Amino acid sequence: MTDHLNTPPNHIPGWLTAGRVLIIGLVGVIIVIGLILIVMAIGDEQAREPEVRVDALAGSRNECVTCHRRTTPGIVEQYGHSTMAAAEVSCENCHEVRADYPGAVEHEGTYVLRTPTTAMCETCHTAEVRQFYQSRHSIPAYAAMVGLEGLTDDQLVRYNAIPEAAVKPNEQRNALYHIEGPDITRFACEACHNIGAPAPDGSIGQCQKCHLRHEFSREQARKPETCNACHIGPDHPQWEIYQESPHGIAYMTMGHTWNWNAAAGTLTVNDFPAATCAICHMSGFGATGTTHDVGDRLTWYLFQPISERRP
């Protein structure tokens, strides 16, 4: 009783001081966490905002651009917003060839390829084209449809250098191609299998099957719908399988928030929280390099009646 009477009037008990410090500390932690969450939310919203589209051909006096703005304005609009146009790659760089070039057609006083071949793409994308040549998307896709009889000696050498050639797809080619006839197969088979068809200049393949003209969008090439154009249906139902998988469900529900334009080789789970076709088969991330050999990461040859392990 005496001690209580002798306590200074402004004295605060130790337990009360400690309690106040604890409360202030907790409030501070809550405020910091709240600020972090706000910053993250703002960052996410900014990441989801579409990139500012700049028309690299605005004001261009290039003869191709000037003419095609009138005749086919859609492709000019697409190409103007492409990274290729931003890098000052011109229409002539991809289309214009000499008069005697295989497949050349006369056009407005010059000679062009209506559809540039992989030989044109290889001028800049050397590694990607060489990887493609080693892939199931190149000659093996074409040979599985029509066989090897129409290939030149150089193309046969290129084909036999592909690991896939060891399983002889020529002996396993689909007989339906010959049974159904050209009125059907040009829709049912060739639309996809011609991704590996030879061109008149001897090069192989059609890059534009996946890199649709003329914007050549990284986002478009990475999205599963691009693969869905061919990998669908009862004979190869990869699209249906993906749609019903946890990865596909994640893409269908949250894919609109993913960073589809991340630079090649830099991808992390922050960009793509779940897998897509391109992520597993092609994309570069961590120590794994980007590849255009779509079968390089597969363990088994899946197209045979009895699957065998890949080398």
Write the CA distances from 99 to 90, 115, 118, 177, 218, integer angstroms.
Answer: 19, 15, 19, 35, 33
DSSP state of 195: G
Q: How far apart are CA 287 and CA 307, in angstroms?
A: 29
Single pTM value for the model:
0.80
What is the full DSSP assignment across 143-183?
Answer: HHHH-STT--HHHHHHHHTSGGGGG-GGGG--THHHHH-HH
Tokens of 238: 């990869």
Where does residue 232 rank: exposed (0-12), middle (13-18), buried (19+ CB within 10 A)? middle
Name the residue among 251, 187, 263 with its Cα closest to residue 218. Answer: 263
Residue 98: the pLDDT is: 97
- First and final C-alpha spacing in the chain: 91
Distance CA 190, CA 207 (A): 15
pLDDT of the residue at 19: 62
- Cα distances (Å, whole numbers) of residue 153 to 59, 138, 200: 47, 16, 14
Q: Given this model, what pLDDT does residue 165 score?
A: 76
> Which pLDDT value is given to residue 89?
96
Residues 6+ apart with CB under 8 A from 25: none
Taking the C-alpha atoms of residue 187 and residue 177, their distance in angstroms, rounded to an integer, is 11
Supply the pLDDT for residue 299: 87
φ/ψ region of 51 (left if φ > 0, alpha if ψ in -120 to 50, else beta) reads beta
pLDDT tens digits, one per residue of 239-290: 999 999 999 999 999 999 999 999 988 889 999 999 999 999 999 988 889 9
> Residues of the chain whose pLDDT is less than 50?
1, 46-47
Spell out a b/e string for 118-131, using b for 16 or more CB atoms within 10 Å of the CB, else e. bbbbbeebeebbeb
Beta strand 300-301 with 110-112: parallel, antiparallel or unpaired? Answer: unpaired
In this prediction, residue 82 carries a pLDDT of: 95
Question: What are the distances in angstroms from CA 297 to CA 270, 280, 293, 310?
Answer: 23, 8, 8, 10
Give the number of other CB atoms < 10 A from CB of residue 116.
Answer: 22
Structure tokens at 232: 């669908």
How far is residue 258's CA from residue 12's CA, in Å, rounded to a whole number? 55
Half-sphere exposure of 124 (CA within 13 A, CB side): 11
**pLDDT at site 7:** 52
